[in-house]
């Protein structure tokens, strides 16, 4: 028997062999030929065996979508899947003149531009100028089968060793990174040696860099690229850093009307062991909630407050300027990801209470949601290596540092960058 855990619907599906359709009566495809839907109708990662139909085929630049071929045969291996997919769908794509910067495509491409939203496992990068997914018009002469990203050992997240962030990124690589960011939620770039301007350039792939209101342990307001440490106000390693927010589950800047889109970390100094960072996928956590709980929190909003966080963790209180620039705001407890549409919980240590509920009742609801959403099936623990760069999507992930090292003797220094969300969900200031 074979079985796979669907990390979206949190059910385990079993079947006798890859050649047999599972009990939910759809075909099984291996290793990323599709990443469309599981039996519950939600997307699955592309490196699992799962039940799926092919997603719609689309072409670049606002062409109308068409439906893919109904059901392809089960592929027995990665190679057969790749070749069989190309052969069986040949001629099924929408054909249209392929324009590159307003110029028609070269004659040897046949004057057509065929695009299929394939998974990152076999992403082909267009060499004729188009950056909208996969350009099959170019595959004959400009094929690139590199597996840029490989999944981490978790329900989400991916890593790569094939990108040098110290060099300027070509448009195809930049597009692939942005696509992988949406597909995987968190990306780890291994073996990097970066300066502040390199980190800033990576952040700017996703949006403008965040300006900060919070001071560091030296009393100065954080710059766009800054360090977070385990230091106290005197600059010494401590089990109670000057601001200890990082060691509790949270989403960066949730106390603002438009929170951060992404956060990036790059280690400068690491303890000999420990000092991990954990990420929790709030979309997977929400999908696994009982229907009764989903109904209970539907339409509810939580108030997020910088002042509440500071007081509850016994940190220095916010200044009057910080209170004025970051008043309490309310966010939906369940909000769809603005680009993928996946419903995600939006809670964390900045969440003070639930609007319209008694404070004690609201805090109980928030505490139970956080306990459920940080269970092992939804959490990735990143053990840092020198040269790592990790960037994650704050719109679907919550995070925290782990105090699993000798904080009073060992130093943990991380470069940090936050990216603004220029089109973030509107939130309401609490009067």
Strand bridging mode 301-304 / 413-419: unpaired
- Is the same domain home to 277 and 200? yes
Domain that holds residue 357: 171-429
| 422 band by pLDDT with thresholds 50, 70 and 90 | confident
Which of 315 and 402 is assigned the larger pLDDT?
Answer: 402
Residue among 45, 122, 55, 50 nearest 281 (CA): 45
User: Are residues 350 and 254 in contact, defined by beta-carbon separation less than 8 angstroms?
Assistant: yes
Which of 37 and 288 is assigned the larger pLDDT?
Answer: 288
- Is the same domain home to 138 and 228? no
Out of 59-63, 252-256, 361-365, 390-394, pick the least confident: 59-63
Burial of residue 417 (number of CB atoms within 10 Å: 0-12, 13-18, 19+): buried
> Does residue 322 have a pLDDT over 70?
yes
The DSSP line for 381-393 is EE---TT-EEEEE
User: Are residues 332 and 326 in contact, defined by beta-carbon separation less than 8 angstroms?
Assistant: no
DSSP 322: H
pLDDT value of position 219: 61
Residue 260, in any domain of the structure:
yes
Cα–Cα dist 353/329, whole Å = 11
pLDDT value of position 1: 52
Cα–Cα dist 27/228, whole Å = 48
Cα–Cα dist 135/100, whole Å = 11
Interval 158-195: pLDDT, tens: 999 999 999 999 999 999 999 999 999 999 999 999 99
Residues 6+ apart with CB under 8 A from 291: none
> Does residue 131 have a pLDDT over 70?
no
- Is the same domain home to 256 and 339? yes
- Is the same domain home to 141 and 241? no
Which of 391 and 114 is assigned the larger pLDDT?
Answer: 391
Total number of domains constituting the chain: 2
> Does residue 14 have a pLDDT over 90?
no
- Is the same domain home to 330 and 243? yes
Residues 6+ apart with CB under 8 A from 342: 42, 43, 283, 336, 396
Residues 6+ apart with CB under 8 A from 236: none
Determine what percent of the chain is predicted with pLDDT higher than 90: 48
Q: What is the CATH number of the domain that holds 196?
A: 3.60.130.10
> Which of 14-18, 37-41, 257-261, 419-423 has maximum average pLDDT?
257-261
- Is the same domain home to 245 and 373? yes
Mean pLDDT (the chain) is: 73
- Is the same domain home to 129 and 176? no
Residue 295, in any domain of the structure:
yes
The encoded tokens of residue 425 equal: 């969900």
> Does residue 269 have a pLDDT over 70?
yes
Out of 4-13, 192-201, 317-326, pick the least confident: 4-13
- Is the same domain home to 140 and 175? no
Interval 77-123: pLDDT, tens: 444 445 554 544 444 333 333 333 333 333 333 333 333 333 333 33
- Is the same domain home to 123 and 198? no
Residue 290, in any domain of the structure:
yes
- Is the same domain home to 185 and 299? yes
pLDDT value of position 33: 34
pLDDT value of position 338: 92
- Is the same domain home to 128 and 181? no
> Does residue 366 have a pLDDT over 80?
yes
> Does residue 398 have a pLDDT over 90?
yes
pLDDT value of position 64: 33
| 424 band by pLDDT with thresholds 50, 70 and 90 | low
pLDDT value of position 173: 92
Residue 34, in any domain of the structure:
no
Helix (H, G, I), strand (E, B) or coil at 405: coil
The DSSP line for 222-282 is P-SEEEEESB-TTS-B-SS-SS-GGGS-B-TTTTSSS--SEEEEEEEE--SS---EEEEEH
Cα–Cα dist 207/224, whole Å = 13
Residue 193, in any domain of the structure:
yes
Residue 231, in any domain of the structure:
yes
| 222 band by pLDDT with thresholds 50, 70 and 90 | confident
Determine what percent of the chain is predicted with pLDDT higher than 70: 61
Cα–Cα dist 384/270, whole Å = 8
Cα–Cα dist 365/383, whole Å = 31
- Is the same domain home to 249 and 142? no
Residue 39, in any domain of the structure:
no
Residue 37, in any domain of the structure:
no
Residues 6+ apart with CB under 8 A from 102: none
Residue among 234, 255, 230, 119 nearest 182 (CA): 119
pLDDT value of position 276: 97
């Amino acid at each position: 028997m074979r079985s796979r855990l669907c990390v979206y619907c949190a059910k385990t599906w079993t079947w006798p062999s890859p050649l047999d359709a599972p009990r939910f009566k759809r075909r099984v495809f291996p290793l990323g030929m599709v990443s469309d839907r599981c039996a519950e109708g939600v997307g699955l990662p592309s490196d699992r065996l799962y039940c799926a139909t092919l997603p719609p085929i689309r072409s670049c630049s606002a062409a109308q979508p068409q439906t893919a071929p109904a059901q392809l045969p089960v592929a027995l291996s990665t190679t057969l899947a790749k070749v069989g997919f190309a052969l069986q769908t040949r001629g099924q794509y929408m054909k249209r003149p392929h324009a590159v910067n307003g110029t028609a495509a070269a004659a040897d491409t046949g004057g057509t531009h065929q695009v299929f939203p394939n998974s990152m496992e076999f992403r082909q990068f267009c060499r004729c100028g188009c950056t909208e997914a996969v350009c099959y018009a170019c595959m004959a002469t400009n094929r690139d089968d590199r597996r840029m990203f490989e999944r981490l050992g978790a329900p989400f997240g991916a890593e790569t060793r094939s990108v040098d962030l110290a060099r300027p990124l070509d448009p195809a690589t930049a597009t692939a990174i942005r696509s992988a960011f949406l597909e995987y939620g968190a990306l780890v770039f291994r073996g990097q040696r970066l300066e502040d301007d390199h980190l800033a350039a990576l952040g700017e792939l996703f949006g403008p860099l965040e300006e900060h209101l919070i001071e560091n342990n030296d009393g100065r307001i954080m710059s766009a690229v800054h360090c977070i440490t385990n230091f106290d106000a005197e600059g010494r390693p401590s089990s109670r850093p000057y601001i200890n927010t990082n060691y509790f589950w949270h989403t960066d800047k949730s106390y603002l009307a438009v929170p951060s889109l992404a956060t990036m970390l790059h280690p400068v100094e690491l303890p000999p062991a420990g000092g991990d960072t954990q990420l929790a996928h709030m979309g997977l956590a929400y999908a696994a909630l009982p229907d009764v709980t989903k109904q209970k929190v539907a339409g509810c909003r939580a108030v997020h407050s910088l002042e509440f966080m500071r007081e509850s963790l016994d940190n220095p209180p916010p200044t009057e300027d910080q209170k004025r620039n970051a008043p309490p705001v309310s966010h939906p407890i369940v909000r769809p990801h603005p680009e993928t549409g996946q419903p995600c919980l939006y809670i964390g240590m900045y969440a003070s209470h639930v609007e319209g509920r008694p404070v004690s009742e609201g805090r109980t609801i928030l505490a139970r949601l956080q306990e459920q959403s940080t269970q092992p099936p939804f959490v990735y623990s990143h053990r840092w290596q020198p040269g790592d760069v990790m960037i994650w999507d704050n719109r679907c992930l919550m995070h925290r540092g782990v105090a699993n090292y000798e904080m009073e003797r060992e130093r943990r220094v991380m470069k940090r960058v936050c990216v603004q969300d220029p089109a973030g969900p509107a939130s309401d200031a609490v009067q």
